[in-house]
Structures are given as C-alpha cells and as structure tokens.
C-alpha cells in the first residue's frame, strides 16, 4: 500500500513538474529576444528530458550557449580596447559586466580591481593638476588636464561638470582671441592678428579658423617679399578662411604621421569649399599613396571581427573607407559591425 502511494506521489510530482515547464520554451525565447541570454539559458535548462519541448529547448540552448560565449569574448575585447585607449572607467565597466555574467573569472576580477585603483589614482592626479593650473590661470595646461579627465571617466557627473566648466571657460577665451585676431586682420595689423591666433592655437591646437587666418597672413607676407601686392583682407571670405584652416590642419596631421586624420581634414575643407584645389590635390595624392594598404587593412579588420574585437575591426575598416569611400564590401562590414556593437551596448545598458 505504501509503495503504491509512493509511486502515485512520484508520478504526481513529475506531472506537476512537466506542467510547470509547459511554455518554458517560449518564455526563454522571449528573454532571448530581449537580449537576456543568461535568463533564456536558465529557463531552457529547466525543461526536463521527456518533456515535449525538451528537444527543441536543447537546440535553442546550444545556440544560446555559443552566443553567450561570444558575448563574453566581446565584453572582454571591449574592455581591453578601452584599456589600451586609456579610457579606464569604460574598461572597468565592461570587465564588471563580464564578471556579472561569469563570476568565475578570477583573472578578470584581479584585473578589474587593479584598474579601479589605477583609475582612482590617475583621477586624483589629474584633478590636482587641473586645480593647480586654474589657480595659476594657465588655461592651456588646464585644457590638457580636463581632456585627460574626460577620457579617464566619462561616467562621473561631478567630474564631467568640472570638465564642461573648464571647456566653457577655454571656449570663451578662444572666442575672445579669435575676435581680436579678426579685428586686427581686417585693419591690416598682421602681427597683432598673428599673436591672437597663436594664442587660440595654444588653447585649441586644431582650431581651423585660426589656422586659416594664419595661412593667409603667411601667404600675404610671401607675396610682399616677392614684391607682389596681396589682395585686401576683405577679398578673402569666411568660407575661404575655414576651408584653408581645414587644409592646414590636414597638412599638419600628415606631417605628424596621421594620414587618416589628414584625409578627414582634406574632406572637411572640400565640404566647405568644393573648389579648394590644394585640398583636392593633396587628398588625391594621399589616397593614392595609401591605396596599397587597403588589402592589409581589410584583412586586419576581418581578423579582429573573427576575434569579436569590434572596435578594432571598425577602426581598420573605416580606414579602408577613408582611402576608398566607394568600397561597398567594406561598407557592408562596417554597417554590420556597427549594428553588433550597438546591440552589445544596449545589452550593457540594460544589464548595468
């Protein structure tokens, strides 16, 4: 009698368990579509052998397990990328997300703790440097410290308020000296204009307006040195100045060994003035010189992509497009990697 009762209770428990699992396949699917891989995997694992949904759940579980492993690798690659870029708070964020999904990674935990301490130390140094520079009214140095802080930790609201205030103050100074330089330039006081524009470049080294004015001042002086009469300042339009500034920024980038930044500046010059001949000439020449790098950059992007290193893959492929904007195969890869990265960041946001 007792044995019969035991068998009956066991059968009843199994029936209840099987009934409870009914619909688990769809619940897991819903979680999966929401980006909750861990939740979906947990639900599908609860479906026991013998259940009508078991076989299909095992198939979905295999797919989710593989995708989960790839997601972990992507988070790790994200963290490593930000670490090499000296964006430490972002690196810590992705290492922590990886640990949230897989707490068993002792080496990752140790690396995260080390980075947290390093981030705190570097923030303290940069803040102290910023405060000292502001007390000394050294805006050029303050700008460098503010830029370093913004890069280290974009998530700290109080820190970002300080950075924005410093940048606003620097922006006001830049605008003031620009206006003084423009006034001096318009009245023919080239040396005074030069001094003002050089101050602007000390605060904002890639200020295209200051670069453009300085280029025309130098050009006028060359004409006079060759006993030729330069055109009046009013003959040079704002468009001329801005296009020339982007061009000069491109030339400086090229001289500094930054060809891809140079391409972007030459393109910017042409977007301002499509007839800027020097920009078109140098852009064409630079792209021609870089053309042999396309296969290597394309393959490098593919290798990074296969390793789930989306940021570095995008960097390589975007350089291909700077050299060859019509390269549709590369553009398709860029679009795909950007979608994947956007999805990864959505999951990170919802999960953090």
What are the pLDDT digits (tens) for 123-161?
999 999 999 999 999 998 999 999 999 999 999 999 899
45: exposed, middle or buried (Cβ count in 10 Å: 0-12, 13-18, 19+): middle
The answer to whether the CB of 259 falls within 8 A of the CB of 290 is yes
The per-residue pLDDT for range 253-302, each reduced to its tens digit, is 999 999 999 999 999 999 999 999 999 999 999 999 999 999 999 999 99
Residue 348: predicted pLDDT: 56
For the chain, how many helices (H) and strands (E)? Answer: 16, 0
- What does the pLDDT average to over 57-75? 82
Give the separation between CA 304 and CA 315, rounded to whole angstroms: 10
Residue 36: predicted pLDDT: 75
Give the separation between CA 254 and CA 283, rounded to whole angstroms: 11
- Which residue in the block uniquely carries the two structure tokens 């280029």? 215
pLDDT averaged over the chain? 89
DSSP 291: G
Instruction: Kindly report which listed range (22-26, 93-97, 225-229) carries the lowest average pLDDT score.
Output: 22-26
Segment (H or E) for 167: helix 157-186
Tokens of 187: 């009245």
The answer to whether the CB of 224 falls within 8 A of the CB of 191 is no
Segment (H or E) for 272: helix 259-272
| Per-residue confidence band for 4, with pLDDT thresholds at 50, 70 and 90 | low
- Which residue in the block uniquely carries the two structure tokens 């802080």? 149
Instruction: Kindly report which listed range (22-36, 166-180, 186-200, 244-258) carries the lowest average pLDDT score.
Output: 22-36
Q: What are phi and psi of 22, to 5 degrees?
A: -60, 130
- What does the pLDDT average to over 49-76? 82
The pTM score is: 0.78
């Amino acid at each position: 009698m007792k044995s019969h009762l035991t068998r009956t209770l066991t059968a009843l428990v199994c029936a209840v368990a099987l009934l409870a699992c009914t619909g688990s396949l769809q619940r897991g699917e819903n979680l999966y579509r929401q980006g909750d891989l861990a939740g979906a995997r947990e639900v599908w694992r609860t479906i026991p052998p013998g259940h009508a949904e078991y076989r299909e759940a095992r198939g979905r579980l295999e797919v989710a397990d593989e995708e989960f492993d790839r997601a972990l690798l992507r988070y790790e690659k994200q963290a490593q990328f930000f670490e090499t870029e000296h964006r430490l708070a972002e690196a810590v964020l992705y290492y922590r997300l990886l640990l949230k999904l897989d707490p068993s990674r002792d080496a990752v935990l140790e690396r995260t703790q080390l980075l947290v301490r390093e981030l705190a130390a570097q923030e303290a140094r940069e803040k102290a440097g910023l405060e000292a520079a502001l007390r000394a009214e050294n805006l050029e140095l303050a700008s460098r410290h503010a830029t370093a802080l913004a890069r280290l930790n974009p998530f700290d609201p109080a820190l970002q308020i300080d950075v924005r205030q410093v940048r606003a103050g620097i922006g006001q100074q830049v605008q003031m000296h620009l206006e003084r330089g423009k006034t001096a330039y318009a009245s023919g006081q080239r040396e005074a204009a030069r001094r003002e524009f050089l101050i602007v470049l000390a605060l904002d080294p890639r200020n295209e307006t200051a670069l453009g004015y300085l280029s025309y001042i130098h050009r006028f002086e060359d004409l006079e040195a060759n006993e030729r009469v330069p055109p009046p300042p009013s003959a040079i339009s704002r468009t001329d100045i801005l296009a020339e500034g982007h061009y000069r920024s491109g030339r400086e980038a090229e001289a500094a060994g930054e060809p891809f930044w140079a391409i972007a500046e030459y393109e910017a010059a042409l977007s301002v003035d499509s007839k800027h001949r020097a920009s078109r000439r140098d852009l064409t020449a630079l792209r021609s010189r870089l053309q042999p790098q396309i296969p290597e950059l394309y393959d490098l992007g593919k290798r990074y992509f296969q390793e789930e290193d989306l940021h570095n893959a995008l960097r390589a492929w975007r350089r291909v497009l700077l050299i060859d904007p019509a390269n549709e195969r590369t553009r398709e890869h860029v679009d795909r990697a950007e979608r994947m990265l956007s999805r990864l960041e959505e999951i990170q946001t919802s999960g953090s």
